[in-house]
């Protein structure tokens, strides 16, 4: 049934795209689709150009500034790129103040800039907009850990685990915080859950990346740090 649904929606999407190409080949939405396709093939520079063209045609279309900012970050880890992406996320928020994803990404950038307090503030703003935003809870917990607020970090990470019990990153970071507070039994339990989930997700992750090539941005674990 899942395969049939996948094929049906894929066929519908292909037909809709063909119709859009005939009716409005130079529309902002057409350029957005082209950008998304290029991004799926890791051609970020070309995707950026398509997003900029879409914004020229429809500067107030929700989502364009957010997606452009994501491509800018994917294309470069330079500080100039992060600053440019920040501007685009803020433009998205100006158009769509309910964009919890943009607030969260501003928090991600602040973390990369070694500004945990700013990162925390953006994540908390994202959670006001979307209380069930698991990655924002995890990022808030990470920022609180850096600010030496282990108890508050546990609250955020326990919320993440309740919302998504199969989120391996949430269990990993919760194990870290429990260990910081001397709760060794709780830390051992969360660490065991993390390793079970990590092993179970390996096959799914490989298949997902082979089909879609580039997964959405989520909270991750630092390379080599897999034994909380």
Q: Are residues 27 and 63 in the same domain?
A: yes
Q: Domain of 70?
A: 1-97
Do 75 and 137 lie in a common domain? no
Which of 48-52, 178-182, 224-228 is the least confident region? 224-228
The predicted-structure confidence for 183-195, as pLDDT tens digits, reads as follows 999 999 999 999 9
**Arithmetic mean of pLDDT over the chain:** 89
Instruction: Compute the distance between CA of residue 73 and CA of residue 90 in angstroms, rounded to an integer.
Output: 14
This prediction's pTM: 0.83
63 and 7, same structural domain? yes
Is 116 in the same domain as 222? yes
127 and 85 in a common domain: no
- Residue 127's domain is classified under what CATH number? 1.25.40.10
Overall domain count for the chain: 2
CA distance 39 to 138: 26
Q: Are residues 106 and 183 in the same domain?
A: yes
Residues of the chain with pLDDT > 70, as a percent, come to: 83
Least confident of 39-43, 82-86, 136-140, 218-222: 218-222
- Burial (CB count <10 Å: 0-12, 13-18, 19+), residue 36: middle
Q: What's the pLDDT tens digit per position in 2-16?
A: 777 767 766 676 676
* Residue 44's pLDDT band (cuts 50, 70, 90): very high
- Give the domain-ending residue among 97, 125, 159: 97
Of 97, 123, 147, which marks where a domain is finished? Answer: 97
pLDDT in tens, 72-118: 999 999 999 999 999 999 999 999 999 999 999 999 999 999 999 99
Give the DSSP H or E segment for 132. Answer: none
What is the Cα 86 distance to its own chain's centre? 15
């Amino acid at each position: 049934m899942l395969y049939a649904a996948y094929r049906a929606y894929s066929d519908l999407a292909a037909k809709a795209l063909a119709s859009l190409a005939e009716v409005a080949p130079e529309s902002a939405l057409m350029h957005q689709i082209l950008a998304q396709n290029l991004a799926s093939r890791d051609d970020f520079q070309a995707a950026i150009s398509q997003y900029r063209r879409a914004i020229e045609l429809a500067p107030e279309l929700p989502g364009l500034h957010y997606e452009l900012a994501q491509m800018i970050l994917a294309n470069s880890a330079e500080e100039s790129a992060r600053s440019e992406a920040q501007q685009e996320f803020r433009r998205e928020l100006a158009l769509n103040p309910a964009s919890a994803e943009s607030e969260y990404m501003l928090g991600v950038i602040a973390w990369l800039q070694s500004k945990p307090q700013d990162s925390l503030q953006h994540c908390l703003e994202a959670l006001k907009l979307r209380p069930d935003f698991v990655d924002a809870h995890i990022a808030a917990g990470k920022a609180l850990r850096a600010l030496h607020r282990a108890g508050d970090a546990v609250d955020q990470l326990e919320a993440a685990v309740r919302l998504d019990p199969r989120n391996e990153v949430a269990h990993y970071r919760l194990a870290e915080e429990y260990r910081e507070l001397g709760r060794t039994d709780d830390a051992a339990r969360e660490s065991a859950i993390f390793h079970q989930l990590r092993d179970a997700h390996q096959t799914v992750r490989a298949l997902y990346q082979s089909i879609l090539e580039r997964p959405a941005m989520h909270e991750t674990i630092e390379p080599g740090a897999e034994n909380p």
